[in-house]
Amino acid sequence: MAKKGQAALEYLSTYGWLLIIIVIVAAALYALGIFNPATYQGKSCTGFSTGLTYVDHKYAVDRSFTMIMNNGVGKSITSVTMMNVTLSDGTSAQAAPTDASSWAPGAKKTLTLTTGPVAPATGSSYTATVILTYSTGDITGHKQTGTCTGTVE
């Protein structure tokens, strides 16, 4: 009976050391940021399908959300009347963006809006739902919606 107990103890101690090594390796990988999705997430925007086309965007630690859009509507946009940005943390901002003046067909425009009161941490990941409301000479209230993801710069 004593030999069976010794074999069981050796068996358990071998697996115990193996589990300790696995925990140490997992902790080291976690500390290096391997399990952080922000490490692998590139920035992208989807959903802007008709008219306005996405070129680039940036969410900065100064709380500014900046987008570069291309006017593919086929006619001049007289103004961007509203930019609404809702972030994944629940923060929301809505106002006329900077440089919301007239916009020629095929031209690029940089639109910027300052978001909520809390500054995001550099390198943290985000998802933002963006709604742009714009007017062409004859019709007001056109809306384009997109979802942008990336890491805070």
Please write the tens of the pLDDT for every residue from 19-56: 999 999 999 988 887 776 655 667 888 888 777 889 99
Going from N- to C-terminal start, the domains of the chain cover 2-35, 41-151
**Are the beta carbons of 17 and 109 closer than 8 angstroms?**
no
Q: How many CB atoms lie within 10 A of CB 24?
A: 10
Which pLDDT belongs to residue 12?
A: 82
**Are the beta carbons of 55 and 109 closer than 8 angstroms?**
no
Going residue by residue through the chain (153 aa), what tens digit of pLDDT does each one get? 556 777 778 888 888 899 999 999 999 988 887 776 655 667 888 888 777 889 999 999 998 999 999 988 888 888 888 899 998 888 888 888 877 678 888 889 888 888 877 788 888 888 899 999 888 877 888 888 999 988 888
H-helix segments, the chain: 2-31
Which pLDDT belongs to residue 2?
A: 58
C-alpha dihedral (13, 17, 22, 26), degrees to nearest 10: 120
Which pLDDT belongs to residue 27?
A: 92
Which pLDDT belongs to residue 43?
A: 83
Helices (H) and strands (E) in the chain, counts: 1, 8
Closest CA to 151 of 58, 35, 56, 48: 58
Closest CA to 64 of 32, 102, 111: 111
> Over the range 97-127, which residues count as b (16 or more CB within 10 Å of their CB) and which as e?
beebeebeeeeebebbbebeeeebeeeebbe
CATH topology of domain 41-151: Immunoglobulin-like (2.60.40)
Q: How is residue 9 written in tokens? A: 């103890």
Q: Given the structure tokens 């995001």, which residue do they identify?
A: 120
Which pLDDT belongs to residue 1?
A: 55
Say whether 54 sits in a helix, a strand or coil: strand
